Structure 1
Amino acid sequence: MEPLNVEHAGRTLRGVLHLPHPNPSPAPAVVLCHGFGANRFEFGNIFTELARRLAAEGLAAYRFDFAACGESDGDFADLTVSDQVAQVGAVLDTVASHRALDPDRLSLLGMSLGGLTASLAGAKRPVSSLALWAPAALAVDANVPDEVAYWPEILENGYEDLLGKPVTRHFTEDGFGIDPWADAAGHAGPVLLAFGTDDDLLPDDVVDNYRNLYDDRLEMHVFEDLGHTFETVPARAALVDVTVEFLLRTT
């Protein structure tokens, strides 16, 4: 594991690169995108576990902190999905230029808001495949303020308080300009979608939209009676297993 930082819009995004040993240089690589207000370790340190598994199987993995998260520079009040998509573009540029990595074999994985971000970034430039864990398309699925349940709170306070993190007016208005389906349609490769049936961010209509969007390129793994973060030890182990198998096959 080695430090690898990315410069974007005057900010340093801090991350680490897990290289396979021995390294089949140039190695294929997977970029891991964490969720809202999280960091490059993700829940239960699962991104670290996944990165180590991938490296052991011959795939490099890059974990990084989005701006204003973890150890990266930035102000959380400036967070938007559009900015995160741009950050992923800069990350892909840096990873593609690394001497030990194959620029033609790069995949994206994202958790929650990172899943939404990965789906949008993967439509803007060619990547081999996408792995989406509980993607938070509902974060931008409203088109007008009246469809946002917490809009009155934003008008009153300037933000919605989401588990101690501010969902700002800036973030919400940015989302009005994003269509999570049409704007993700540019990706042409395989897609893994993993989610729990008790996840409020993946209701049936959202799952149907993903089916329609990716059609026969979509592989779904459904975890019964589990929520947004796959809350059991067996489920998290299975999530890593199916993801490693998918990425080995598609990156």
Structure 2
Amino acid sequence: MTFLNVGIGEHARPRSIQNHDFQYNGRTLRATLHIPETAGATGRPTVVFVHGFANNRMENRSFVLMSRLLETAGIASVRFDLSGHGESDGDFFDVTITGEIAETRSVVQAVRGFDFADPDRIGLVGMSMGGVVAGIVAAEEPGIRAVCLWSPAAVAPFEVGAGRLKGRDIAAEISQKGYFDADSHRMSQALVDDIAGLDVYGRSRPYAGPVRIIHGDQDDIAPLSYARRYLDHYDGNAELEVVEGADHGWATVPHRTRLHQSTLQFLRANLEPSA
């Protein structure tokens, strides 16, 4: 597969990659901006990426490669670390999904004011728990043009609400340690309660713009059945693309290529200039 090298060869669009600091609630959220230098453009379609639980704005490099691919289509992008993640301020122990939704909305609002961005052509891409966040933000932050959800972890409220995560007893660990050890991250009782009470489908439902959900049928972290439920709640504006053999992390070259190419096609089709 050669598409991952598109954008860095001699026929690539000129581009600018910049670091940027967003401010929210007294914390700095650190970000990377990818700005294609399209001749004559006054405002580019722009995609904001939302990473997954305990990850960061590289998302195992998948967000980086997707941003580079978007550049080839003249689409700008913003990758940022949620608080308590990556290079951003804060401690993971203080993270809540409610807070992540608020931070993402704040970033989207700031991006609309950037010189390079067309405020009427803002899209969202979210991975795993970031997909859940992106779906809710699209419904609650006015003016999102399109949203693409990668392996959305809509199972989380049901799993955590049942008191277990990855087969372990959440309450027992918190009682013993004062936190739940989530892959070396201290998960608080506040985060457990926040996830358990999250109405993923109900809060995502009001979004009327185009939605593409891309999910692997071998996802053992966020089962495909929970992705299918989104279609029962949206009003015909969502589509589910099931990728045979793909796992939660899109861990093979063919599967990740399929994910990126499908996302590119969807965003190019739906971030066209306003009429």
TM-score range, shorter chain: over 0.9
2:261 aligned with 1:241, yes or no?
yes
2:215 aligned with 1:190, yes or no?
no
> 2:136 touches 2:200 (CA, 8 Å); kept in 1?
yes
Q: Which residue among 45, 51, 54 is the counterpart of 1:37?
A: 54
Larger Rg, first or second structure (1 or 2): 2
User: How does 1:95-134 map onto structure 2 within 5 Å?
Assistant: 95-126=111-142, 127-134=144-151
Structure having the larger proportion of residues in helix = 1
Q: Give the ranges of 4+ consecutive aligned residues of structure 1 lying more than 3 Å apart after TM superposition.
A: 141-144
Determine the structure 1 residue equivalent to 2:78: 62
2:164 aligned with 1:164, yes or no?
no
CA drift at 1:214: 2.3
CA drift at 1:143: 8.4
CA drift at 1:111: 0.5
Determine the structure 2 residue equivalent to 1:231: 251
SS at match of 1:37: coil
Distance 2:171 2:270 in 1: 40
SS at match of 1:87: helix
Q: What residue identity is the alignment partner of 1:47?
A: F
Per mean C-alpha deviation after superposition, the further-off stretch among 54-63 and 135-144 is 135-144
2:103 aligned with 1:87, yes or no?
yes
Q: What residue identity is the alignment partner of 2:92?
A: F
CA drift at 1:220: 1.9
Pair 204,110 (structure 1): closer, same or farther in 2 beyond 3 Å: closer
Determine the structure 1 residue equivalent to 2:45: 28
> 1:137 touches 1:201 (CA, 8 Å); kept in 2?
no
Determine the structure 1 residue equivalent to 2:10: none
TM-score, scaled relative to structure 2: 0.85
Identity %: 35
2:163 aligned with 1:148, yes or no?
yes
Q: What residue identity is the alignment partner of 2:206?
A: G
Q: What residue identity is the alignment partner of 2:87?
A: E
Q: What residue identity is the alignment partner of 1:240?
A: H
The count of aligned residue pairs is 248
> 2:231 touches 2:239 (CA, 8 Å); kept in 1?
no
Per mean C-alpha deviation after superposition, the further-off stretch among 135-144 and 184-193 is 135-144
CA drift at 1:223: 1.8
Distance 2:80 2:96 in 1: 17
TM-score, scaled relative to structure 1: 0.93
Instruction: Write the deviation string for residues 50-82 of structure 1: whole angstroms up to 9, x where unpaired.
Output: 011111201110011111111111111001100
Distance 1:159 1:223 in 2: 36
Distance 2:54 2:220 in 1: 18
Unmatched tracts of structure 1, length 5 or more: none
Determine the structure 1 residue equivalent to 2:156: 139
Distance 1:26 1:188 in 2: 24
Q: What residue identity is the alignment partner of 1:110?
A: G
Distance 1:159 1:138 in 2: 21
Distance 1:8 1:191 in 2: 27
SS at match of 1:132: strand
Distance 1:19 1:125 in 2: 23
CA drift at 1:123: 1.1
Q: Which residue among 68, 71, 87 is the counterpart of 1:52?
A: 68
> 2:228 touches 2:240 (CA, 8 Å); kept in 1?
no
CA drift at 1:208: 2.9
Q: What residue identity is the alignment partner of 2:46?
A: A
CA drift at 1:88: 0.4
